């Protein structure tokens, strides 16, 4: 993958979730500074407005969207399609964790939805716009913390739930679906990769960690990177020419790395795809377009 001059992102359209804080915010500002048009999806309109006011350039867009709702993502996706004619880069970066296992209004485990299923839903919804780009790519936020065992019979952790396990599994799913989408969409010349930001000192998951949250915050303050450092691989991927020979990969810093053995298992990736697509089809059929 060849990093090229800053002008590569000039006039590119980039959609990003999870952009109002942490690595998403740092990456959004850096990408906009290279001449890209930014489309923000966020659930906090005040934070989104503050970010938009700081972005260099013009023509940036904001859509209010809660990543806990697959149906809402579908509705907002239709509005995006009416607003732009192409999408060059989709950055799936939204993420959180929850101390207790609870379901969304659509009946799915919350961490699973925000950190993983929303990524797939948005990728599928944006495919037509990506196909209008000369160099389309999807960049997903994964994590070194993904080292869990895949269980096709308990994907949403109905048994033995913990905050850390739910988060780790969601990141395993991100790596697996990155591989599967890359394989399925290679003929469409859509490059799909993911990256590990490392441990970052940010507001990620604030207010959701229960009794353990103060300890997590202290750990991040002592050992965490600054958001811009965590965003380095994301900015690198977005600023590089997508290479069809480098797709379905997991990046740390600016280099490809090997994830866990479970994350490299193509059977697991296919099983996760089948489960997820069937689930999305059920949810999406219940959503009236507005």
Q: What is the Cα–Cα distance from 109 to 104, expressed in whole angstroms?
A: 6
Rg (Cα) of the chain, in Å, rounded?
A: 18
Going through the chain in order, the beta strands assigned E by DSSP cover 13-17, 37-42, 61-64, 89-92, 137-141, 191-196, 250-252, 255-257
Q: What is the Cα–Cα distance from 273 to 85, expressed in whole angstroms?
A: 28
Q: What is the DSSP letter of 21?
A: S
Distance of CA 48 to the CA centre of its chain: 17
φ and ψ at 37, to 5 degrees?
Answer: -85, 130
Sole residue written with tokens 């048994």:
159
167: annotated active-site residue: yes
Q: What is the Cα–Cα distance from 251 to 205, expressed in whole angstroms?
A: 23
In the set 116, 119, 167, 173, the catalytic residue is: 167
Q: Which of 211, 242, 212, 220 is nearest to 12 (CA)?
A: 242
Q: What is the Cα–Cα distance from 117 to 108, expressed in whole angstroms?
A: 10
Q: Classify burial at 61, counting beta carbons within 10 Å of its beta carbon; exposed 0-12, middle 13-18, buried 19 or more.
A: middle
Report the half-sphere exposure of 196 (CA within 13 A, side-chain side).
22
Catalytic residues, by residue number, are 167
């Amino acid at each position: 993958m060849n990093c090229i001059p800053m002008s590569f992102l000039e006039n590119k359209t980039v959609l990003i979730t999870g952009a109002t804080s942490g690595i998403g915010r740092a990456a959004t500002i850096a990408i906009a500074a290279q001449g890209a048009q930014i489309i923000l999806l966020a659930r906090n309109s005040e934070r989104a407005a503050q970010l938009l006011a700081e972005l260099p350039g013009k023509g940036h867009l904001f859509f209010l969207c809660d990543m806990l709702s697959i149906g809402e993502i579908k509705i907002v996706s239709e509005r995006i399609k009416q607003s732009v004619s192409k999408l060059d880069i989709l950055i799936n970066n939204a993420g959180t964790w929850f101390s207790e296992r609870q379901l969304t209004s659509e009946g799915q485990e919350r961490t699973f939805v925000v950190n993983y299923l929303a990524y797939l839903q948005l990728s599928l919804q944006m495919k037509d716009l990506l196909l209008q780009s000369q160099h389309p790519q999807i960049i997903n936020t994964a994590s070194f913390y993904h080292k869990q065992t895949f269980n096709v019979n308990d994907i949403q952790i109905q048994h033995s739930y913990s905050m850390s396990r739910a988060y780790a599994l969601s990141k395993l799913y991100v790596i697996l679906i990155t591989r599967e989408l890359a394989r399925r969409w290679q003929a469409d010349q859509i490059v799909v990769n993911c990256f590990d930001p490392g441990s970052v000192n940010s507001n990620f998951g604030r207010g959701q960690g229960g009794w353990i949250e103060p300890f997590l915050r202290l750990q991040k303050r002592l050992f965490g990177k600054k958001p811009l450092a965590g965003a380095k691989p994301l900015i690198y991927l977005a600023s590089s020419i997508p290479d069809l020979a480098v797709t379905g990969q997991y990046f740390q810093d600016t280099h490809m790395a090997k994830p866990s053995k479970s994350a490299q298992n193509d059977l697991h990736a296919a099983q996760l795809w089948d489960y997820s697509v069937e689930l999305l089809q059920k949810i999406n059929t219940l959503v009236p377009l507005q």
